[in-house]
Amino acid sequence: MTENETHEGGCACGAVRYRTTGYPDIHAVCHCRYCQLRTGSAFGVGAYFSETDVEILSGTLTQHSYQTQSGNTVSTSFCVTCGTTTHWQIDSDFLRGKTAIAVGTFDPPSFWFDIDREIFTRTKADFVHIDAENKFETSGTYKPVKEDEVRQTPASD
């Protein structure tokens, strides 16, 4: 991979298209509740690039912003036609100036790099097994202001 190598991707309907340049600074699986809600799945997969290395080529996006319990603002960008989240930004000291691409939206081969970290493993679904070199119970930006809700494990029959 060269520092000028580009990869493209887009939303499910094809209206939104983007291009990234270079290799992502961070490539991680996140099991936090926000990623679970954003994806409707057990986790999210993000590839973080310098915002100057992400270019929106076409389409109309809208944003939804929310504040995490740590006080960080997350702004997700998604296609106005099909609703696919293509990318997001987190306003924290650690991630400021970076854009996270929802890795599944890259054109095939979508997963062209290894995942180097797994975060919020404490809320990981029991059925998920990911081979990541670095695993963290929370994340470096996590500064809770309240205790997490206790999750109930269903009783087995």
Q: What CA–CA distance (Å, rounded) separates 120 from 43? A: 10
Instruction: Domain of residue 122: give its range.
Output: 8-135
Is residue 152, in this structure, part of any structural domain at all? no
DSSP calls for 21-86: ES--SEEEEE-SHHHHHHHTSS-EEEEEEEGGGEEEEE--EEEEEEE-TTS-EEEEEEETTT--EE
pLDDT 10s digits, 73-132? 999 999 999 999 999 999 988 899 999 999 999 999 999 999 989 999 999 999 999 999
What total number of domains does the chain contain? 1
- How sure is the predictor about 151, in pLDDT bands with cuts at 50, 70 and 90? low
Domain contains 120: yes
46: domain CATH number is 2.170.150.70
For the stretch 54-81, pLDDT in tens is 999 999 999 999 998 888 899 999 999 9
Q: Please give the DSSP secondary-structure letter assigned to residue 119.
A: E
**What values do phi and psi take at 91, rounded to 5?**
-85, 75
For Cα atoms 54, 59, 61, give the angle at the middle one, nearest 5 degrees: 75
Please say whether the beta carbons of 21 and 68 come within 8 A: no
Least confident interval from 16-20, 22-26, 92-96? 92-96
CA–CA separation, 27 vs 23, rounded Å?
A: 9
Domain presence at residue 147: no
